[in-house]
Amino acid sequence: MPTRLAVIGGNPAGMSAASVAKRRDPQLEVVAFERGPYTSYAACGIPYLIGGQIAEVDDLVARSPERHRANGIDVRIRTEVVAVDLAARTLTTGDGTTEPFDQLLVATGAHATPPPIPGAEATEPARTLDAAEKLRGEVSRHGTHAVVIGAGYIGLEMAENLRQRGMRVTMVDRAPQVMGTLDADMAEHVQTAAEGAGIKVLLNVDIEEIVRHEDGRPRLVRTSEGDLPADHVVIGTGAKPDVALAEAAGLTLGETGALAVDDHLRTPGHDGVFAAGDCVESHHRILDRPVNIQLGTHANQQGRVAGINLAGGDARFPGVLGTAISRICRYEVARTGLTEREAADAGIDAVAATIQARTRAEYYPGAGPVWVKLVAERGGGRLLGGQIVGTETAGKRIDTIATALWAGMTAGELQFVDLAYAPPVSPVRDPVLVAARAVAGR
């Protein structure tokens, strides 16, 4: 009898694992359970679906249930797993069916955490394609005012795209800055760009209530600074790993509250039980401790590693840096490793330097500003992190910094790396190298 692998979660982590495992071991019986109607979709594309740059929900589906089935994976959509019995090696779905498995992959993802205010519970966060489709329909049908609660990268992307749909957009956050994943000095450039695109940004403001019409639609958002008209409310205040099912089944949570896994994505103490994606914690290579950072890149890589191991292979997931990028209004915004504040919070004696440069040769048409901030251990020690804000093409330069961090380089080493230059793509002194030189001297 072939081994049976059950995958909980039809997201990139779960379906990458399912696909890789099935491809490497065609004898493996693979069944995947997804609570919604879609599989393998790009949640990162949702803001652009709202904004209209992406026309169809299906465009965001990298691989449909039908395509997975054609590859021999038994996909059950609209099927929620409600209980797992690790001893009996069975799981139970919402309709009471019991399914056996030999191996299990938990890829339950994360769920949004709206602030605990009256009315918030009725505002579905646009994390899923279904919710995104609903919001898109509502935006196209009525209303002129939108309020975005939470000024992180998802909030900003949503705000920008609602603005492109002609909404008057106000973004509210209780924090003193936008983009909490950046240091305040870098986040200021992003705020300027958002305001330049017509988004009203209110910081240090508490939300008190989302007031609704009788039919449930939002009417206004009550804040510590007064009422904001709100035909639409989008909440982007972060997400927590979805671990209730796994915890109830007896899997171990780590110190972050996410599922603990080893570097092979195995759950400790449960042979043949793996977990991957937003619901697990990962080793942070700079902090040298587990973190829960929810990014599609990690989910994909982890899914692949888990898939290899589920098919009898031996792959290792070597950890994360938390490298992330967004395009927000006229800027690309990117980060990797630790910010200056995160380094301080971790008790590291760090120095930082920020430089401003241009994306192309000064004289070449289309050159725009780019700010690069690097953080390093004081006294010429290893690099700790980097942040970039700048016009088109600025952001992916973060990969150079991420690769240097990955290799454990110092700023003194990075400043001499032989990077590429031509007038249409870079100044002769690459902004990353200029920043490395600046921080190497501190």
CA pair distance 17, 105, nearest whole angstrom: 8
Considering only the stretches 117-125, 133-141, 185-193, 409-417, report the one whose residues sit in contact with a copy of itself under the rule CB under 8 A: 409-417
Please tell me whether residue 87 binds a copy of itself under the rule CB under 8 A: no
Contact 69, 18 (CB under 8 A): no
Please tell me whether residue 409 binds a copy of itself under the rule CB under 8 A: yes
> φ and ψ at 350, to 5 degrees?
-115, 155
SS3 content of the chain, % helix, strand, coil (to 5): 30, 30, 45
Please tell me whether residue 398 binds a copy of itself under the rule CB under 8 A: yes
Give SS3 for 332. Answer: strand
Please tell me whether residue 373 binds a copy of itself under the rule CB under 8 A: no
Please tell me whether residue 411 binds a copy of itself under the rule CB under 8 A: no
Do the strands 110-112 and 145-149 form a parallel or antiparallel pair, or are they unpaired? Answer: unpaired
For residue 56, the minimal CB distance to a copy of itself (Å) is 9
Got the DSSP string for 236-290?
A: -S-EEE--HHHHHHTPPB-TTSSBP--TTSBPTT-TTEEE-STTB-EEETTTTEE
Nearer to a copy of itself, 238 or 423 (CB): 423
Nearer to a copy of itself, 210 or 432 (CB): 432
Please tell me whether residue 122 binds a copy of itself under the rule CB under 8 A: no
329 is catalytic: no
Nearer to a copy of itself, 191 or 336 (CB): 336
Considering only the stretches 20-28, 137-145, 234-242, 429-437, report the one whose residues sit in contact with a copy of itself under the rule CB under 8 A: 429-437
Catalytic residue among 23, 24, 44, 93: 44
Q: Going by C-beta distance under 8 Å and a sequence separation of 6 or more, which residues neighbour residue 373?
A: 183, 185, 186, 340, 352, 353, 354, 386, 387, 388, 435
Considering only the stretches 85-93, 117-125, 370-378, 397-405, report the one whose residues sit in contact with a copy of itself under the rule CB under 8 A: 397-405
For residue 92, the minimal CB distance to a copy of itself (Å) is 32
Nearer to a copy of itself, 248 or 425 (CB): 425
Residue choice 71, 403, 434, 442 for contact with a copy of itself (CB under 8 A): 403
For residue 65, the minimal CB distance to a copy of itself (Å) is 18
Q: Which two tokens mark 298?
A: 């990690």
CA pair distance 125, 131, nearest whole angstrom: 7
Please tell me whether residue 404 binds a copy of itself under the rule CB under 8 A: yes
Site for a copy of itself, residues 289 to 348, rule: CB under 8 A: 295-298, 300-301, 317-327, 332, 334, 336
Contact 173, 151 (CB under 8 A): yes
Contact 167, 143 (CB under 8 A): yes
Place of tokens 């690069």: 372
Nearer to a copy of itself, 255 or 362 (CB): 362
Please tell me whether residue 73 binds a copy of itself under the rule CB under 8 A: no
Residue type, 186: M
Please tell me whether residue 12 binds a copy of itself under the rule CB under 8 A: yes
Site for a copy of itself, residues 215 to 244, rule: CB under 8 A: none
Contact 56, 67 (CB under 8 A): no
> φ and ψ at 66, to 5 degrees?
-60, -40
Interaxial angle between packed helices 296-310 and 12-24, expressed in degrees from 0 to 180 and rounded to the nearest 10: 30
Contact 236, 124 (CB under 8 A): no
Nearer to a copy of itself, 229 or 319 (CB): 319
Q: Which two tokens mark 320?
A: 């994360």
For residue 101, the minimal CB distance to a copy of itself (Å) is 27
Contact 150, 235 (CB under 8 A): yes
Nearer to a copy of itself, 75 or 321 (CB): 321
Which positions are annotated as active-site residues?
A: 44
* Residue ranges binding a copy of itself (CB under 8 A): 12, 42, 44-45, 48, 53-54, 59-60, 62, 285, 295-298, 300-301, 317-327, 332, 334, 336, 361-365, 392-393, 395-400, 402-404, 406-409, 413-414, 416-426, 428-430, 432
